[in-house]
Amino acid sequence: MSEVRPPLPGVDRLDDLQFTNRFTTDLPADENPVNHVRQVHGAAFSRVRPTPVAAPRTLAVAREVAELLGLSEELYRSSSFAQVLGGNEVPVGADPYAMCYGGHQFGSWAGQLGDGRAIALGEVRDRAGGHQTLQLKGAGPTPYSRTADGRAVLRSSLREFLCSEAMHHLGVPTTRALSLVATGEPVVRDMLYDGNPRPEPGAVVCRVAPSFVRFGTFQLPAARGDTALLRRLVEATLAHDFAHLTGSFEERLAGMLDEVVARSAELVAEWMRVGFVHGVLNTDNLSILGLTIDYGPYGWLENFDPGWTPNTTDAGGRRYRYGAQPQIVQWNLLQLAQAFATVVTDVAPLQAALDTYVDRYQDHFRWLTVERLGWGRPLAGDDERIQGLFSALTSSEIDQVLFFRDLARVDVDAAVAPDLADPAAVDAVLAPLSAAWYRPEEIVGDVAAGIAVWLADWAGRVRVGGLPHDERRRRMDRCNPRFVLRNYLAQEAIDAVEAGDVGLLHELHEVLRRPYDEQPGKERFAARRPDWARHRAGCSMLSCSS
Ligand code: AMP
Ligand code: MG
């Protein structure tokens, strides 16, 4: 029987939060208390306090996250909230620290990385009986800051705040964001690395997750041959986050890897569904819980282009392009397994867990796509039909979010057999999808016919699936969002906030809380990228400079 807990008291002051701090209690700390840049050995973290800022001001709060933590509205609207979430005050019971980890960056081992600008305040109990770590990103230098300043600019912080909440409401596993706080201090950045540094407004996001442990957390002690620390990190992660696993150390470790493989495979299938491109899938940016983590130069696919990456730093090799994400996550899992392999006698169970990745990814992706297409459940031949769709979607610039969403509105009976020789008949069948065309002038002739042929096949398959039309549309609408955080919308919100107006940020945040609902009056937030945004920095091109 599960333990019966008394309800936690409502939190009207951050000093009343109940800190549990398991990470810092159960794992070895860096013995050097001085906050200067260095290599940290034999420790999972360094204690460090946020550096105060000039004038913290709360720009946005995610009320569901506040509610999860039990914070009252009065509290999150107060100036003392901004003081704590901006890093000026540390609540009673907190034990602030920066985590030590390593990672592969763009395929090469980078050694120690660590939280260079994120400082966790500590871990608290949430209303659902779970644990949440509150982490301030942009809170100042740590022993892991290397040559950088430990700060974050408003534009990247706003993007992280909005996107993590948008992803949550889309149903994609993610770290959450409690708050976005302006620091009142400038941060100097060379946004496009073109020799034009300029001061920008700074901000701090409070990220919230049950754990911020990354693949790279285990890789660093493995690479250094520090098996004692690696074992402790594994034991603590098993105890904190995989407590349901039983058996010997090696059995539980293999069980954990098996779950990480499953969760990661499902996560990347969800990214592919919603059109999210992470942009920097280095092994330090992969969560042991299968959460989307570290929102940097991410982007949302506009026209369906598997080769697209938002990250200008990756423009050459495009390692982290949309279509490569499934293989990249698999490669990252292999690196994690290799770290785990240094503390086991038998690697076969680890290999067996890794070997499940491709099937798990493909099964989940197929299941999701079949649901998006209104086909009921997967049947033989569906993979070829799905490939046919992806070819049709690349025959011109076609907005994949609008295409899938509006597909539910195509008349299945009319789509079955248009006369391909009759352009008017083809146009009539394609009309419900026309909002998705970036270049309507291209949707003629063979391109239009190709889409119509696929649609006819889709409609036939819908009939075979046999879902009643109303139910089918309802189910399609539940997994094909109307609203995603389009790159240009995030940029518009940034421009407005930089000009002193938070209205658009709040409106967009509100719209993204219900991405699957039609929201009358909010149609503009569902529109395909306007032409001005095609080549504008921040909309189609993002660097790691944040
Ligand atoms: P990311 O690409 O955001 O995952 O960052 C890679 C590494 O650089 C991590 O160790 C970060 O903590 C660190 N880092 C990124 N930006 C900064 C910054 N402004 N100050 C200090 N460290 C940073
Ligand atoms: Mg990172």
Shared-domain flag, residues 260 and 168: no
Q: Residue 187 CA: which ligand 1 atom is closest?
A: 19
- Kindly give the distance from the C-alpha atom of residue 117 to the centroid of ligand 1, in angstroms, as a whole number: 6
Residue 330 included in any domain: yes
Residue 139 included in any domain: yes
Query: What CA–CA distance (Å, rounded) separates 497 from 486?
Result: 17
Nearest-ligand number for the alpha carbon of 298 = 1
Averaged over successive runs of 10 residues, the pLDDT of the chain (546 residues) comes to: 55 94 98 98 98 98 97 95 98 98 97 98 96 98 97 98 98 98 96 89 98 98 98 98 98 98 98 98 98 97 95 91 98 98 98 98 98 97 97 97 97 84 92 97 96 96 97 98 97 97 98 98 96 86 80
Residue 204 included in any domain: yes
Q: Where is the domain boundary, 368, 397, 427?
A: 368
Q: Output the DSSP codes for 138-181.
A: T----TT-TTS-S--BHHHHHHHHHHHHHHHHHT--B-EEEEEE
Query: What CA–CA distance (Å, rounded) separates 70 from 64?
Result: 9
Roughly how many angstroms between the first and final C-alpha of the chain, as a whole number?
A: 48
Q: Which 3 state secondary structure label does DSSP give 204?
A: strand
Predicted TM-score of the model (pTM): 0.96
CA distances from 216 to 46, 259, 321, 335 (A): 16, 17, 21, 9
Q: What pLDDT sits at residue 2? A: 45
Nearest to 272 by CA among 177, 404, 454, 450: 404
Q: Where is the domain boundary, 194, 212, 230?
A: 212
Q: CA-based angle 390:394:395, to the nearest 5?
A: 120
CA distances from 471 to 376, 462, 477 (A): 10, 12, 10
Report the catalytic residues. 284
For a mutational test of ligand 1's pocket, the pick from 112, 115, 144, 294, i.e. the residue with the most ligand atoms closer than 8 A to its C-beta, is 144
Q: What pLDDT sits at residue 1? A: 41
Shared-domain flag, residues 359 and 302: yes
Q: Where is the domain boundary, 212, 235, 261?
A: 212
Enclosing H/E stretch for 127: none
Shared-domain flag, residues 153 and 240: no
Query: What CA–CA distance (Å, rounded) separates 44 from 23?
Result: 9
How many structural domains are present in the chain? 3
Shared-domain flag, residues 70 and 181: yes
Shared-domain flag, residues 291 and 336: yes
For a mutational test of ligand 1's pocket, the pick from 36, 37, 109, 117, i.e. the residue with the most ligand atoms closer than 8 A to its C-beta, is 117
Residue 9 included in any domain: no
- 471 CB burial (10 A radius; 0-12, 13-18, 19+): exposed
Among protein residues, the one with the nearest Cα to ligand 1's atom 14 is 116
Nearest-ligand number for the alpha carbon of 98 = 1
- Kindly give the distance from the C-alpha atom of residue 398 to the centroid of ligand 1, in angstroms, as a whole number: 35
Residue 348 included in any domain: yes
Neighbours of ion ligand 2 (CB under 5 A): 284-285, 294
Query: What CA–CA distance (Å, rounded) separates 66 from 46?
Result: 27
Q: CA-based angle 467:472:473, to the nearest 5?
A: 155
Shared-domain flag, residues 313 and 405: no
Nearest-ligand number for the alpha carbon of 280 = 1
Q: Per 3-state DSSP, what percentage of the chain is helix, strand, and coil (rounded to 5)?
A: 45, 15, 40
CA distances from 229 to 50, 234, 352 (A): 26, 9, 25
Asked if 145 contacts 44 with a C-beta cutoff of 8 angstroms, the reply is: no
**Residue tagged 């499902």 (tokens):** 266
Shared-domain flag, residues 47 and 193: yes
Shared-domain flag, residues 193 and 47: yes
CA distances from 456 to 79, 343, 360, 459, 466 (A): 59, 55, 30, 5, 16
Residue 18 included in any domain: yes
Ligand 1 pocket by C-beta < 6 Å: which residues?
Answer: 113-117, 144-145, 148-151, 280, 284-285, 294, 296, 544
- Kindly give the distance from the C-alpha atom of residue 115 to the centroid of ligand 1, in angstroms, as a whole number: 7
Nearest to 71 by CA among 17, 150, 144: 17
Shared-domain flag, residues 457 and 394: yes
- Kindly give the distance from the C-alpha atom of residue 232 to the centroid of ligand 1, in angstroms, as a whole number: 25
Percent residues over pLDDT 70 in the chain: 98
Q: What pLDDT sits at residue 542? A: 85
Among protein residues, the one with the nearest Cα to ligand 1's atom 18 is 150
Residue 122 included in any domain: yes
Among protein residues, the one with the nearest Cα to ligand 1's atom 12 is 116
- Kindly give the distance from the C-alpha atom of residue 117 to the centroid of ligand 2, in angstroms, as a whole number: 10
Range of the domain at 271: 216-368
Among protein residues, the one with the nearest Cα to ligand 1's atom 7 is 113
Shared-domain flag, residues 232 and 197: no
Query: What CA–CA distance (Å, rounded) separates 467 from 159?
Result: 39
Cβ density class 25-63: b for 16+ within 10 Å, e for less: eebebbeeeebeeeebeebbbbbbbbbebeebebbbbbe
Q: Output the DSSP codes for 295-323.
A: -SS-EE-SB--TT--SBGGGTTT-TT-GG
Query: What CA–CA distance (Å, rounded) separates 218 from 35?
Result: 23
For a mutational test of ligand 1's pocket, the pick from 115, 145, 546, i.e. the residue with the most ligand atoms closer than 8 A to its C-beta, is 145
Q: Output the DSSP codes for 3-60.
A: PP-PPPPPBSSGGGS-B--HHHHHSPBPS--S-------S-SEEE-PPPP-S--EEEE
Residue 62 included in any domain: yes
Shared-domain flag, residues 154 and 186: yes
Tell me the chain's radius of gyration from C-alpha atoms.
24
Q: What is the DSSP letter of 441?
A: G
Q: Output the DSSP codes for 326-388.
A: HHHHHHHHHHHHHHHHTT-S--HHHHHHHHTHHHHHHHHHHHHHHHHTT-SS--TTHHHHHHH
Q: Which 3 state secondary structure label does DSSP give 105?
A: strand
Total H helices, total E strands in the chain: 19, 11
User: In 10 A of CB 420, how many CB atoms?
Assistant: 16
Shared-domain flag, residues 31 and 117: yes
